[in-house]
Structures are given as structure tokens and as C-alpha cells.
Amino acid sequence: MADLATPAATPETAVDPANWTCPAPLHDQPVVVMGHGGGGALSAELIEQVFAPAYGNPVLAALTDSAVFDLGGARLAFSTDSYVVRPLFFPGGSLGDLAVNGTVNDLAMSGARPAFLSTAFVLEEGVELEVVGRIARAIGAAARAADVTVATGDTKVVESGHGDGVYVTTAGVGLVPDGVDIRPQRARPGDAVIVSGPIGQHGVAVMSVREGLEFGVEIVSDTAPLAGLVAAMLEVTKDLHVLRDPTRGGLGASLNEIARASGTGVLLRDRAVPVPEEVANACGFLGLDPLYVANEGRLVAFVPPEHAEAVLAAMHAHPQGTGAALIGECVADHPGMVVVATGLGGTRVVDLPLGEQLPRIC
């Protein structure tokens, strides 16, 4: 695919923001490529050019982690994700943990209290029932830890060679508290940008076991449910503007989506972004940028500046937020763009990645 190799389409380009222009269209592939599932520009094109026109409705058009709507007098959040991570088990978790925490977190990113989950398995003929049982037990344990009930499910089986052991799709329903309105469009210049902990662990953990790499220290996935942390933040103020869990595409993709949805800019301070030393070393070795590596137990928050200090303190007091850090701010300059102020006094653009550096990371 020639388009994939054009210089303008590399995930990061050191350009002057003032002279930056949108890369050439990338959507001339006639077939699905791995990047269409990567949470980057190709995923966004698939949504904007295929799904949104086909479904044609304003709820989907919001393109948030979860849909929020009123039903029977209740304000609900509703979300779904398929999980195709390879391998099924990795340091710190399994596909089962991701399938619960990923959907719980998507609901929490609307400020919702997650309540009920569904699980739908697509099993490959010949996979050991013991493996299915281990995944199911991981789902049960993760659901109890996240205080959600698995309420309904389905199982299909496909012939050997048409699956990869176990795929799981979860959907979730949660209740959005009164007065909470958290969505990417609400980012405002001046907002503090806060990340809940060190980034890059999940992606590097999966990559290390997939490729048989060892980095001296075992790096474990950060997979965790974040609804409790969000509830603690909402106790400080209901006026959180944006929450996002930077999974596929990492922090870089999430911040780009927020900047584009809100028409604001994001200015990060390079040295403020918490990257564990072992993650930085592994990324250096693998040629990855930690800003684009998937996380499964972290969130990024856009918080009105007057509440930033108190929200950060509340996060530090919660087990899932001990490593929280102020990493930058929302700005009126360079709308739709994420820029990093480097330690050397320069800046670089953090563009929306094309696809995922690490396919099938979740």
C-alpha cells in the first residue's frame, strides 16, 4: 500500500506547527488492513466513511468511548469492545481481564458507574475447554473486582482456521450521575491535562511475551478497572470536562482525538509524562514511542484549572491514581493538534498514528 509509506503518514513528524497541513488521504486501500483495527487514523476513517454514513445518527456521531442516552428516566452509558489480544495470557493479566476492564473503563470515561456486562465468545473449534474456562474465570474475577454483574452472554464456534482460540466481545451498561457531562467536545483552553499513572506498561508487557523478549525486569500490564478512581475524582467536582482511557494508539491517539473533537490544542511537557524506566528502555530497544503504546488501566483527564490541584490530590489518594501527574494543558493555539515541548526548548507535533504499532494489543 503506497499510501502507508508516504513520509506525511508517519506517526510523528518534526514540523513547525504553524506550517503544518493535513496529510494526504489514506483511504485508498480497497481491502481491510491491520491498521483499520489500530485505533488511529485508519480506524477513524473506517468510522467516518463506512459506519457513520451507514448508521446515520447523532448518538454514534459523537464517537466517544461510550454512548450516553436517556431511557425510561435513567441516564445510561452504553459501550462495547471486541478483544482479540494475542497471546491470551500475558504478564499481569489475560484477555478476560481486558474484556471486563476495557468495557468498564469505557463506561467510566463518561463518568458512569458501570453496572452490567454482557460477554459474547467466538471460539475456534479445537481450542481446549480448559483455556475457555481460564478466560471465563478471569472474567468472573475481574467483574467482581470492578463491582459489575455479567448479566447475559452468547457463544459461537467457528471452524479451525477461522478464529484464534478465543475472541470475546463485551458490552456494558452503566448509570451516569446527575450533573455529569464528560465528553471530548468539552475540552477548554486552560484545562489541566492529567494522566493517572505511568504509561506504556500494557503494550510492552504483551509485546515482551509475544516476541519472547526479556528486559531484565518483568514489565506487567497495567490492566485495571478505573470506575472507582473516576468516582473519587467526581467527588471533588462534577465539572470534569474530558476523560479518556488511552488504549489502542496510546496517549498520543487519545489526545489527538480530544483536540480534534474540541477544536482546541494540547501542549504537553515532555519531561512531565511518566514513563517507567523499563518501559522507556524496552521502547528504545523495540523502536516504539511510549506515547503511542497501549494502556489498559490509565486515564487522561481534562480538568478546569481551578479544580486541578484538588483532583490530582484525590487521584493520589486512590490506589489506581498514586502515579498521577500533571502533564500539560489545553491551549487555544494550534487547534486540533497535540504538541510536545521538549526538554531542549523545542517542540514537536504528536500526530494521530495511522494504525497501531502493536497489532492485536487488546
Q: How far is the CB of 111 from its own copies (least distance, A)?
A: 14
Could you say which of 124, 181, 239, 270 contacts its own copies (CB under 8 A)?
Answer: 124
Buried b (16+ CB within 10 A) or exposed e, 291-304: bbbbbbbbbbbbbb
**Checking phi first, is residue 212 left (phi over 0); if not, alpha (psi -120 to 50) or beta?**
left
Task: Establish if 158 lies at the interface with its own copies (CB under 8 A).
Answer: yes
Q: Is 36 in the site for its own copies (CB under 8 A)?
A: yes
Query: Of residues 90, 167, 292, 302, which one binds its own copies by CB under 8 A?
Result: 167
User: Binder to its own copies among 13, 17, 23, 47 (CB under 8 A)?
Assistant: 47
- Quote the CA–CA distance of 233 and 258 in Å, as a whole number: 19
Nearby residues of 289 by Cβ (< 8 Å), 6 or more positions away: 11, 12, 252, 283, 357
Region binding its own copies by CB under 8 A among candidate stretches 8-16, 111-119, 229-237, 281-289:
111-119
Q: Which stretch binds its own copies (CB under 8 A): 126-134, 286-294, 302-310, 344-352?
A: 126-134
Which residues face 118 on adjacent strands? 152, 171
Q: Which residues contact 236 (CB under 8 A, 6 or more apart)?
A: 307, 310, 311, 314
Number of residues that bind its own copies (CB under 8 A): 82
Residue 357 binds its own copies (CB under 8 A): no
450516553: which residue's cell?
A: 68
Residue 69 is a binding residue for its own copies (CB under 8 A): yes
Place of cell 489514506: 26
Among residue numbers 199 through 228, which ones bind its own copies (CB under 8 A)?
A: none
The one among 94, 101, 105, 169 contacting its own copies by CB under 8 A: 169
Taking CB under 8 A as the rule, does residue 345 contact its own copies?
A: no
